[in-house]
Amino acid sequence: MTTRTDDLLGRIQPTEGGREIFDPATGELVGRAPQASVEDLNDAVARAKTAQPGWAARSNDQRRSLLHAAADAVEAHAEELAQLLSREQGKPLNGPNARFEVGACSAWLRATAEFSLEPEVLVDDTSGRATLHWRPLGVVGAIGPWNWPMMISVWQIAPSLRQGNTVVIKPSGYTPLSVLALVEVLNTVLPENVLIPVPGRGHVGEALSRHPDIDKIMFTGSTATGKSIIKAAADTVKRLTMELGGNDAGIVLADADPKAIAEDLFWGAFINTGQTCAALKRLYVPESIYDQVCSALVEVAEKMPMGPGLDEANVLGPLQNEAQWQIVDRLVTAARDSGARILTGGDPDHSRSGHFYPTTLVADIDPQNPLVVEEQFGPALPIVKYSTVDQAIEWANSLNEGLGSSVWSSDLDRAEEVASQLVAGTTWINKHGAVDPRMPFGGARESGFGLEFGVEGLKEVSQPHIISR
């Protein structure tokens, strides 16, 4: 198929060889990704290190305007980027998916451009004067996942560049073309060697995590890989931001209006076909409105079309890869075998090409069932019945993860009171996963540490330096 991505692909593919990347919806060849070796990585880090002082020496205004110019470039190529993302990742163009993700890239570039971290006067009296300055760290290594490959790359790149660091970025081996295309577009306006991609598999990420000239790793991905990176980074005492797996709970309170919240609940769980770190992954609903919430969710779920991403009608797509499809299928099968009730979905069509798993809602499920306590990262939501709010809070807080969570109620004060008892980086009220560049985002417990976004996000890629006289 000829699409508007061909020009961009032509600029990022190797002239020969490379790893073939296939569309998870159709199995068609999307393109070939270059494969960086560890020697290529070393060369990239050396170039980024050499370029960093010149980048840091630019004024804040210059870096701010270059980030806005980068956003302009993304906007000028928005449709090509969205089509390539859709073909490689699988997410549809429409709904909160590919076009939305590309839009988020420019929005985060612009928002990050406008944050600023000014020096602070800490002491100024007869004892002396002390000031706090935020210096760049040096070279930031960015390692990202396959679910929101472009947007998460921008979350790592934009604050790092804003603060005067240079960046070496390793995309996920599942979605390298999307990140290479994004970097290609950003580099039409950025100076040379300020942002360098190193497409390769996990061993390249590991070498980046160990590299003595990498000053900080920003990582988004699984908790297991996050733990490996923490160990690999220990010998050089690297700064780390770890955005790891989540298993977000949502608690519906008895005064919520099931029909009014159903669509937002649905998208909280099924955004990007459930492949989102801070998606709603387990829902707790009181007995008194359990049946109404279940039927309102089924009604919404059954009218959301799923299919190949380039078809404008679809708002849900395939799982990005076969391994993730197997995880979802195993968990739904375990739920069904335990006696839980499948309200919709749960019965994949094995004759269909592509990694499609139907939109699945599971009711009357035990709170300890694997579909509840393990991260499914796909389109299958368990709905657990509770009798007291304290019980729901206890279940919500009982896992090792703590990325996001949500409370759903018509009484906002009561909802805040329940929210205050949840262990999570963010608790949303009457919405879920609504990240915003002005609000710091990060995890509790094994969902990671360090904050992204806002001024707090700039601090994470800066070295505090106090001058005291």
Catalytic annotation, residues: 243, 277
Rounded least distance, CB 251 to ligand NDP, Å: 21
228 near ligand NDP, rule: CB under 6 A: yes
173 near ligand NDP, rule: CB under 6 A: yes
**Token pair in block for residue 83:** 């089509």
CB 289 within 8 A of CB 320: no
Rounded least distance, CB 155 to ligand NDP, Å: 10
Q: Interaction with ligand NDP in 234-263: which residues (CB under 6 A)?
A: 243-245
Backbone dihedral angles phi then psi of residue 412, each to the nearest 5 degrees:
-65, -35
**Token pair in block for residue 174:** 């599942």
220 near ligand NDP, rule: CB under 6 A: yes
Of 54-62, 217-225, 251-259, 412-420, the segment contacting ligand NDP by CB under 6 A is 217-225
Partners of 195 in the β-ladder: 167
Nearer to ligand NDP, 143 or 280 (CB): 143
Measure CA of the first residue to CA of the last residue in the chain; give whole Å. Answer: 66
Rounded least distance, CB 189 to ligand NDP, Å: 25
Among 31, 221, 379, 442, binds ligand NDP (CB under 6 A): 221
Query: Total binding residues for ligand NDP by CB under 6 A?
Result: 28
Of 31-39, 224-232, 309-317, 457-465, the segment contacting ligand NDP by CB under 6 A is 224-232
CA pair distance 146, 179, nearest whole angstrom? 10
How far from the centroid of its chain's Cα atoms is residue 172's Cα? 12
Minimal CA–CA distance to 171: which of 36, 311, 345? 36
The count of other CB atoms within 10 Å of the CB of residue 132 is 15
**Token pair in block for residue 379:** 């389109």
- Return the amino acid letter for 241: T
**Token pair in block for residue 4:** 């508007």
Minimal CA–CA distance to 153: which of 189, 86, 198? 198
CA pair distance 104, 319, nearest whole angstrom? 21
Rounded least distance, CB 139 to ligand NDP, Å: 16
Rounded least distance, CB 179 to ligand NDP, Å: 9
159 near ligand NDP, rule: CB under 6 A: no
Spell out, one character per residue from 100 to 139, where the chain touches ligand NDP: x when CB under 6 A holds, - when not: ----------------------------------------
**Token pair in block for residue 428:** 């949303």
Binding site for ligand NDP (CB under 6 A): 143-147, 170, 172-174, 201-202, 205-206, 209, 220-222, 225, 228-229, 243-245, 277, 324, 327, 375, 377
